Amino acid sequence: MISVNSIELEVFEAGKQNAKKPIVLCHGFPEHAFSWRYQIPALVEAGYHVIVPNQRGYGNSSCPTEVTDYDIQHLTGDLIALLDYYGYENATFMGHDWGANVVWRLAQLYPKRVNKIINLALPYQERGEKPWIEFMEEIFGGDFYFVHFNRKPGVADTILEENTAQFLRNIFRKNITPTVPEPGMLMINLARAEKSKGDPIMSESELAIFISAFNKSGFTGSINWYRNLDRNWHLLAGVNPIIQQDTLMIYGERDIIPKFERLSEFVPNVEVASLDCGHCIQQELPEETNQMILKWLERKNG
């Protein structure tokens, strides 16, 4: 437990002997630092000091009550404070899902503190003319889970917390046959579904770690990340949208999140790769993910 940025973060750490070569791994929703369990030993063996926080709202880390305490200034500020705690001027950052979004914005807001980027599943999101939730509501409607989280605060939180094990068991799946989406809100549907689709991504003992963490933290803190998307849109006004760091973007070919075809306009030094998997790339294909990451890092480190 580390005190940073007026909160406490639960931080997992490995490879202290590799000081001066830090890499920070940032999880997504509804996840946990444990989602990087396959990458940590491989990175340590490759000579990295691996730092893996449960970000605010997750695990045993602080869960502030104010919604605005989860905006992009706070989320990136936590990571900067973590670098300061360890005495690092900069580090390589790797993010998955929401963690990737935080890493993209970290590079915009604190470019000198990020030396390289590896992001999985979630590409850079362009700041368009309308705030993100307003835009999504027009395109996808009020049942889209990003919108629902914002327009009906507390509703999804309660349903997910009443069905924590079922929700997590249903969301961490692979090899799902594509079908027409069910009516209603995706996350609520997953929480209420008594039968899981596809195949499990992890064992029951691994899943139990996620279940235990969310039984303790609840879901409101992690959902509050979504409730700041329009606020983040305003906070990023005037911030340079171009990210110059060497970047590896890894997509899952079966992920429902679309690729961003104009990624290189905003991240000119990006290399794009993909693996034959769904959204949870580093958990679905850990060995292939590790090989791709380590080869890229070795090439970039010369």
Catalytic residues: 97, 279
The vertex-226 CA angle with 222 and 227, nearest 5°, equals: 105
Rounded distance between C-alpha atoms, residue 251 and residue 147, angstroms: 24
Other CB atoms closer than 10 Å to residue 45's CB: what's the count?
A: 12
Could you write out the DSSP letters of every residue in 82-131? HHHHHT-S-EEEEEETHHHHHHHHHHHH-GGGEEEEEEES-------SS-
> Using the 8-state DSSP alphabet, how is residue 239 labeled?
S
Rounded distance between C-alpha atoms, residue 75 and residue 108, angstroms: 13
Number of helices and strands (H, E) in the chain? 14, 10
The type of residue at 64 is P
